[in-house]
Amino acid sequence: MKRSIKIVLPLLLVIFAAGCKKDYLETQPSDAVSEEVIFSNTAAVASALDGVYKSLYAYGANGTTGHDNFGQKAIDLASDLMGNDMIVHQQGYGWFNRDYQYSEWLLPDATNRRPDMTWFFYYDIIKQVNKILVNLETASGPAADKESLKGESLGIRAWAYYNLINLFQQTYKGNETKPGVPIYTVPALDGKPRGTVQDVYTQIIADLTQAETLLTGKIMPTKAMMSVKTVQGLRARTALVMEDWATAATKANQARQGFALMNAAQYQAGFSDITNPEWMWGSDISADQATIYASFFSHMDIATGGYASLGTQKKITKDLYDKIPAGDVRKTVFRAPGTGTSSNPDYNQVKHHVPTPGSWAADYLYMRASEMYLIEAEALARQGQDAPARNVLETMVKARYPAYSAATLSGAALLNEILLQRRIELWGEGFSLIDIKRLKTGLNRPTGPGNHGAPNYDPVVYTLPDADPKMIMKLPRRELANNPNMTEADQNP
Using N-to-C axis directions, what is the helix angle for 72-81 and 143-168, rounded to 10°?
30
- Taking all residues of the chain, what is their mean pLDDT, rounded to a whole number? 92
What digits encode the pLDDT tens for the residues 57-75?
999 877 888 999 999 999 9
433: Cα within 13 Å, side-chain hemisphere = 27
Predicted pLDDT at 111: 54
Mean pLDDT of the region 477-488: 94
Q: How far apart are CA 421 and CA 399, in angstroms?
A: 13
Q: Is 441 left (phi over 0), alpha (psi -120 to 50) or beta?
A: alpha
What digits encode the pLDDT tens for the residues 335-366?
999 999 999 999 999 999 999 988 899 999 99
Residue 114 clears pLDDT 80, i.e. is over it: yes
| Nearest residue to 268 via CA among 352, 347, 379, 187 | 352
- Domains of the chain, by residue range, sit at 285-362
Q: In terms of C-beta density within 10 A (0-12 exposed, 13-18 middle, 19 or more buried), how is residue 213 classed? A: middle
| Nearest residue to 170 via CA among 126, 205, 201 | 201
What radius of gyration, in Å, describes the C-alpha atoms of the chain?
22
Q: How far apart are CA 179 and CA 194, in angstroms?
A: 6
Predicted pLDDT at 112: 57
| Nearest residue to 187 via CA among 8, 22, 23, 45 | 23
Cα angle 10, 131, 6; round to 5: 35
> What are the C-alpha distances in Å from 228 to residues 5, 90, 193, 217?
18, 42, 31, 8
What digits encode the pLDDT tens for the residues 3-37?
555 433 333 333 333 333 334 444 344 444 567 77
Strand, coil or helix: what is 447?
strand
What digits encode the pLDDT tens for the residues 451-467?
999 999 999 999 999 99
CB atoms within 10 A of CB 440: 13
- Residue 189 pLDDT grade (very low, low, confident, very high; cuts 50, 70, 90): confident
**Out of 39-43, 193-197, 328-332, least confident range:** 39-43
> What are the C-alpha distances in Å from 264 to residues 333, 346, 419, 429?
11, 22, 22, 18
- Residue 446 pLDDT grade (very low, low, confident, very high; cuts 50, 70, 90): very high
Global pTM reads 0.93
| Residue 322: partners with Cβ closer than 8 Å, 6 or more residues away | none
